[in-house]
Amino acid sequence: MSDLKTMRAISQDVLGGPEVLREVELERPAPRPNEVLVRVRAAGVNPTDWKHRATGGFLGSPEAGEPFVLGWDVSGVVEATGIGVAAFAPGDEVFGMLPYPFGHGSHAEYVTVPARALVHKPTAIDHVQAGALPLVSLTAWQALVETADVRPGQRVLIHAAAGGVGHVAVQIAKARGAYVIGTASAGKHDFLRELGVDEAIDYRETDFEEAVKDVDVVLDTIGGDYAVRSLRVLRPGGVVVSILPVGSEEFPREAARLGVRAVRILVDADRAGMRAIAELVEAGTLRPTIAGTFPLADAAEAHRLGDTGRTTGKLVLTVD
């Protein structure tokens, strides 16, 4: 157990496989002006976590700087507030996403968060469900609503629709009144139908370019050649939104040739987006599927499962 001045956290000082993650004792942070100190109850683990663990990603190598604690999702209880915070008080249950990519650190007992990155946790869900939602739901919301402006009756194709971002994107698109097509392996099609997918495509057996046409919006969660190939199933004026922020220059060139739009986005912490997500949760139209929960000390096991790329829904760390 940590004392009142320290906390447990999952840290790494080299890049590599899940084995580089270790539980350490760190100084408990204090909230600065406009920050909130959150006692973490649950924190999602996302593909960006295991990619940063392995490659350093936007954060670089810890060998060139300080060891880092990963984690962008957080659900927990306000422990203390910094100067100027009016929206929250100690004891409030909150959830949100730390500013991406440099605001990481929620895979710990405590984390400081900008107050405007948080909203009150919906009473309709527990901390595990709330901790699973922020990064994937903000990604889907910013892609489908803020960027693509999905409207009732539009045809929306979501790649990897059973994954973390995908299964939330399906629910958001359905809440917007869209006709949703989802790609996933055949074994996950029943799950997709439960989510509300209107048409499921087994990517292992079927080329989506041949099976789909006249799509208004495509959400690319995979990368590689999927973004460029997805342009070819759009109707004129349609848009592919890729959540992979870097990639081939062929993507915008092919979009221009076809008379469609090609957009890459990087998720951004946002109170308005989190409020919209909370409203969908309270209305009962959005729920995360939990692929597995792990105590904080077993973070490496969560990463090992995530590395397989076969999970349905979200992995979550829980903190006593």
C-alpha closest to that of 180 among 172, 10, 227: 172
The model's pLDDT over 103-147, given as tens digits with 9 standing for 90+, comes to: 999 999 999 999 999 999 999 999 999 999 999 999 999 999 999
The model's pLDDT over 11-54, given as tens digits with 9 standing for 90+, comes to: 999 999 999 999 999 999 999 999 999 999 999 999 999 999 99
Beta strands 110-114 and 73-81 are unpaired
The model's pLDDT over 142-157, given as tens digits with 9 standing for 90+, comes to: 999 999 999 999 999 9
Please check whether residues 40 and 149 belong to one and the same domain. no
Domain that holds residue 59: 6-133+288-318
User: Which band of pLDDT confidence, cut at 50, 70 and 90, is reported for residue 2?
Assistant: low
pLDDT value for 3: 64
Please check whether residues 169 and 116 belong to one and the same domain. no
pLDDT value for 63: 80
State mean pLDDT over 224-251: 95
**Residue 228, SS3 per DSSP:** helix
Query: Which amino acid belongs to residue 147?
Result: T
**Residue 170, SS3 per DSSP:** helix
Q: Are 269 and 96 in contact (CB under 8 A)?
A: yes
The model's pLDDT over 280-306, given as tens digits with 9 standing for 90+, comes to: 999 999 999 999 999 999 999 999 999
Instruction: Give me the number of domains the chain comprises.
Output: 2
User: How many CB atoms within 10 Å of residue 134?
Assistant: 30
State mean pLDDT over 177-202: 97
Residue 275 forms part of a structural domain: no
Residue 190 is part of a domain; what is its CATH number? 3.40.50.720
Please check whether residues 107 and 52 belong to one and the same domain. yes
Residue 114 forms part of a structural domain: yes
Residue 270 forms part of a structural domain: no
For the cut 90, the answer to whether the pLDDT of residue 215 exceeds it is yes
Integer Cα distance of 167 and 139 in angstroms: 12
Kindly report the CA angle at 75 between 32 and 24, in degrees rounded to 5?
A: 70
